Structures are given as C-alpha cells and as structure tokens.
Amino acid sequence: MKRIAAILLILAASAGAWAQETPLTQAEYVKMLYSVQRDPSVRKNLIEALRKRGIDFAVTDGLRGLTRSKAGADEELARALEEAGRRRADPKASALPSTAEARTLLETTRRNTLAAVEDMPDFVVKQLIARSAAVAGTGNFRSIDRLVVAVSYRSTGEEEYRLLSKDGVLQADPKAKGSYEEAGGTSSTGEFVTVLATIFKTESDTKFDLIDTDTIRGRRSLVFEFATPRDKARQTVTALGSLTQSAVTGMRGRIWIDRELGRVLRIDSEATEIPAGFPITSARRMIDYDWVTIADEKYLLPSESDVRLTGNESPRAYETRNVIRFREYQKYGTEVIIREDDETPDAGTRKP
C-alpha cells in the first residue's frame, strides 16, 4: 500500500466555482444580514454565499456600518464581504487557483515554515497585554488589567517570560525569572513557533481545505481551513483555580498564506476534543505575523495575538480575552525597556 501523504489537501471548489450561481444582490445580502440576529445559523450560509456566489453591488461605508450593527464584531463575515467586493472589482486577481497550484503553495509553505522554525534566532521581545473579561456570548468585555512582559526566546525552543509591570506599577524585581502567570488570570505561550510547527509537521496529519482568497496588510493570500487531531496536535489548555487542571486537545481553524511568498500571515485556531467536564469549554487564538528586523536580518514573527477562553464557572459562563502586541524585537541579551506609551490605557488593544 502506498504511504498516505501526511498533509492532505481537500479542494472542493475550483476556479470556476464562483460563477455557478448568480451573485448576491444588495437586497438579498441585507435581508440575510437582518436574519443573522434572529437566527445565528444564517451567518454560516451568508458567509458561504459571499464566497461562492459573490456580489453584484459595491461595498460602501454604509453597508460596512450595517454589517457591524447587525452582526457585531464578526471579523470573518466582514472579511468575506470585503473580499467579495474585491472579487467583483477584479475577478482575475481574486480567483481561486487550481487544485495543483493550491497544493504546490501548501507544500512550499510547509517547507518555508519548518525551515524558518529551524533558523529562528535568539531574541527578546516586549509584550503589551490588555486583559479583559465578559459574560460569555455578550461581547461586552470589561478591562481587568494591563501588563508589560519581557520574553526571551532561544533557538532551542526555550521561552522565558518576565512580568515587568502591572497597571503601570513596576514589579519589585523585574529581572527575576518567572512567568506572567504570577499575575493570575489568563496567560498564553507558544505564539512564536509552537503553533506553526504543530500545524505543518508531516507527522501531524493536518488536513487542509481551501475556502477563500483574502488580503492581509496588502498581501494577496489564500485562506485554508485546517484540522489537526488531538493525538497529533497535543495542544495543552490549563485551567487555573483552587486546583490546576490541564487537558490535551486538538486544533482546527483557518490559516492565511501569502500567495507569492508561501509564508503564513495569520492563524485563527480553536481547541477541539476538549474533555467533557473540563472547566474550560472553549479556547481560541488568533495570531498575526509580520516581518521584523533582528540584528539586520528579516524574520516573520508574531505582531499581535488575541486569546480567548470560555469557562463554565457557576452561575454563568464567562469569557476572558488577552490582546497581545509584540513590540521591539531585539537580539538576545538586550534589555527590555518600559516606555511611557507602553502604559497608556489602550496599549495592547486590538480592534475586532
């Protein structure tokens, strides 16, 4: 029996799929948009229609405002609408590639990503973290605190976190080793290489499904859905409380790949196969990657991350949110300095 390739590509759509149905009219779009509030299941159908049928109307500021009003901070829907608008304006530039082209891009990205993981330099970076919480499902997040954390990364994969300040108050010994877990509440690690390596390692058996085109920071990209099973992903989610509990989960989500460079620009992932009865019922993380310079060399590293955990603490479910900005990448051993603008109330705030 031939060996099954570790990374599978499932491409249900083809370059001509967009033309199989008539484009959405503005009246149809608005009608479905109003229905999202009454029936959340309509949201998935609306996004699919935008991707597969496209639109026959211009995307105006008025429609953008209406979308925010009726669908809230639904970034996936907003991005699908914007891409449908770009596809209408320039069908050739936004067309899905052939199955062979998509498969080639995935394989190129796998090689580039794993090579970049191996070539990762030693560095330090400053994290500006805005932490907030809300009753699950409301989206009404209230600020908890603001942290400044220094991270030292070694090419061997070691990550060291030091809490420098909390709500503008310097820590007693900011040079002492430790993690910002000491500040209590939600924390996250592994943004630099762990997530990317897990998705693209050949032994992970990750499945990919091409779903859309998009533009990230001016770069044309392909959007794939991906899924990595628990026994391969082995992602760890930890619940802190009177007792510390950990669970091993799988991963699924979406990944944005630069069509020209074959590099990952964004990951939007969530934990799967969370054990029944575990205190955390949902764990999601979005990471944006951008080019930075360290010791005169260019590297693609995290620029922002949005981490959300939902717990089932009685009497109602709650959701925590950490918005992390990565600033001032420097060579390993450089001192991380807190600046005045690091302490502003909106430092670390990421727009949905």
Task: Collect all residues with Cβ–Cβ distance below 8 Å to 159 and sequence separation of at least 6.
Answer: 151, 152, 153, 189, 190, 192
Question: What is the amino acid identity at position 33?
Answer: L
Q: Distance between CA atoms of 339 and 349, rounded to whole angstroms?
A: 17
Q: Over range 79-93, report the average pLDDT.
A: 88
**How sure is the predictor about 29, in pLDDT bands with cuts at 50, 70 and 90?**
very high
pLDDT digits (tens, 9 = 90+) for 265-285: 999 999 999 998 888 889 999
C-alpha distances out from residue 223 to 6, 94, 267, 329, Å: 20, 12, 10, 28
Find out whether 166 and 149 touch, Cβ atoms under 8 Å.
Answer: no
pLDDT digits (tens, 9 = 90+) for 293-331: 998 899 999 999 999 988 876 667 888 899 999 999 999
Higher pLDDT, 15 or 62: 62
**How sure is the predictor about 106, in pLDDT bands with cuts at 50, 70 and 90?**
very high
Which pLDDT score is estimated for 7? 43
pTM for the full model?
A: 0.82
